[in-house]
Structure formats: C-alpha cells, structure tokens
C-alpha cells in the first residue's frame, strides 16, 4: 500500500514508492551485508529518546519498531489486496532518522501473491533473520529476545488490521489476517515466541522496555509486573 493510499490503515502499513526528498535512505541489503553505521545511529537515537544508558534496551526497541514495519507492510497488503509488494532487501530503502511511514520506500519489484509462504520468504527470511544478525553485531542482544520481538510485532499487526476491518466493515480482511498469521506463526522461529497466535498474544520474552526510566510493561509482556529484582543486572529476554 502506498503512503497516500486512503483505502488501507496507513501508518506502519504504508510503503512509499518514491524517495523522500533530501532523505538519507540506503538499501537494507547494505545494512545486512555489514554497513552498520546507520543501525548504530538509529540505536543511539532511540537510546537518547528513551533516556536510557542501556544500549541493549535501545537496540531491542529499535529492532521491534523495524520488525513491526516489515510485517505490517506485507501482512496488510496481503490481507487487503491479496498481494505483497516487492520487498527485496536490494529494493527496500531505509532512513534511520525518519519515523514511519517516511522511513521506508521501495525502489521496485513486482507484487506477488500474498500467501503466508510468500510473506515468510519476503519478511522472515529476507529481512528479520539478517536484521537480527545486524543488531547483534552492534549490541549483544539475545536471539530469543529478537524473535520474541518479531512475534510481538506480527501479533500487533494482526490486532491493528482486525481493528481497522471492524471499523470499516471488512470482515474479509480480518479473516485473511488471522489465517495468514496462523500460518506464519507455525514456524520454529516464531511458534514459541508467545501465545495465542492472534490479537490476545502474550509473548514469552521481554523486550526490556520496563528498564527505560519511567517505562512500564507492554500490553503483551511476559511479566505481570516489572521484575524489580532484575533491575541493574544484565538479564532480561
């Protein structure tokens, strides 16, 4: 869905098809190949905005935001139109300085049928796996935590689509979103990230947001209350 498409949810679900004027976008393939400065800058920015000195917290939050964008673009398009836009890492460009939806634009790639297999190929294999490696090159964040972020982001996209579908009398969109997500969660990397695999998702790991000064628990947090005894330690996730 293009950024100015009024027929869909917009926001995290929107994808520009042209560069932002004066933007500093680079192909995500370059990030995954080892050009880590943009990701480092993004994590630095998130840390500053959150007011945290714990780099792993900022790295987790930065990763969660980008994972949510990637799932939303693919799942939203598939649920609404039955297709998935071209999301190859060589074609998808990211500017870590910009908020959604200006942060991403696609330079090409034909839309393909929006099956769960296609979404998994495009997002999980094409982006989330190499993104996790890129994050870990910058900051030692547990792999399990990052896949927990991915599961949380997918479930969040489903919730948003179901809410949009209810407000716009599109039960077909809600049904497709649920069905696609069920298939996507049926993968070893995502199956154990939390349950149930839908709007009521509760993750099995913590994204560490509770460690942000003044931060609390996310709506799908594994904890019932912030684990004060872990504050100041290196644990979490």
8 Å CB contact between 162 and 174: yes
Looking at residue 4, its pLDDT comes to 40
Inside any domain, residue 1: no
> Which range marks the domain in which residue 69 is found?
12-18+26-222
Inside any domain, residue 56: yes
Looking at residue 236, its pLDDT comes to 43
Inside any domain, residue 123: yes
Look up tokens 């998994």; give the residue.
120
Fill in the DSSP letter of residue 224: S
pTM comes to 0.91
Inside any domain, residue 89: yes
Fill in the DSSP letter of residue 20: P
Looking at residue 137, its pLDDT comes to 96
Band of pLDDT at residue 24, cut at 50, 70 and 90:
confident
Look up tokens 């009521």; give the residue.
200
Inside any domain, residue 133: yes
Distance CA 167, CA 63 (A): 29
Does residue 111 register a pLDDT over 90? no
DSSP letter string over 135-174? HHHHS---HHHHHHHHHHHHHHHHHHHHHHHHHTT-HHHH
Looking at residue 9, its pLDDT comes to 87
Band of pLDDT at residue 84, cut at 50, 70 and 90:
very high
Query: How does pLDDT run across 181-224, given as a tens digit for each residue?
Result: 999 999 999 999 998 887 789 999 999 999 999 888 998 999 88
Distance CA 30, CA 52 (A): 28
Looking at residue 36, its pLDDT comes to 92
Does residue 235 register a pLDDT over 50? no
Inside any domain, residue 6: no
Domain count, the chain: 1
Quote the mean pLDDT of the chain: 89
Number of H helices, E strands in the chain: 8, 7
Band of pLDDT at residue 7, cut at 50, 70 and 90:
low
Does residue 5 register a pLDDT over 60? no
Inside any domain, residue 76: yes
Inside any domain, residue 229: no
């Amino acid at each position: 869905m293009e950024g100015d498409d009024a027929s869909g949810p917009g926001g995290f679900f929107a994808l520009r098809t042209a560069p932002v004027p004066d933007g500093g976008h680079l192909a995500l393939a370059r990030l995954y190949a080892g050009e880590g400065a943009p990701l480092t800058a993004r994590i630095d920015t998130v840390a500053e905005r959150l007011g945290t000195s714990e780099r792993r917290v900022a790295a987790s939050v930065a990763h969660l935001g980008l994972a949510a964008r990637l799932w939303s673009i693919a799942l939203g398009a598939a649920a609404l139109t039955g297709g998935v836009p071209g999301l190859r890492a060589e074609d998808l460009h990211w500017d870590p300085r910009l908020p959604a939806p200006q942060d991403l634009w696609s330079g090409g790639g034909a839309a393909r049928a929006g099956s769960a297999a296609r979404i998994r190929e495009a997002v999980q294999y094409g982006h989330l796996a190499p993104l996790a490696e890129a994050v870990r090159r910058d900051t030692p964040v547990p792999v399990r935590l990052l896949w927990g972020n991915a599961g949380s982001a997918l479930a969040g996209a489903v919730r948003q689509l179901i809410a949009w579908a209810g407000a716009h009398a599109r039960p077909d969109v809600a049904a497709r979103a649920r069905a696609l997500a069920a298939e996507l969660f049926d993968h070893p990397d995502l199956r154990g990230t939390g349950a149930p695999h839908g709007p009521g998702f509760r993750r099995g790991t913590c994204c560490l947001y509770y460690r942000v000064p003044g931060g609390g628990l996310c709506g799908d947090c594994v904890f019932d209350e912030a684990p004060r005894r872990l504050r100041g330690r290196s644990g979490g996730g």
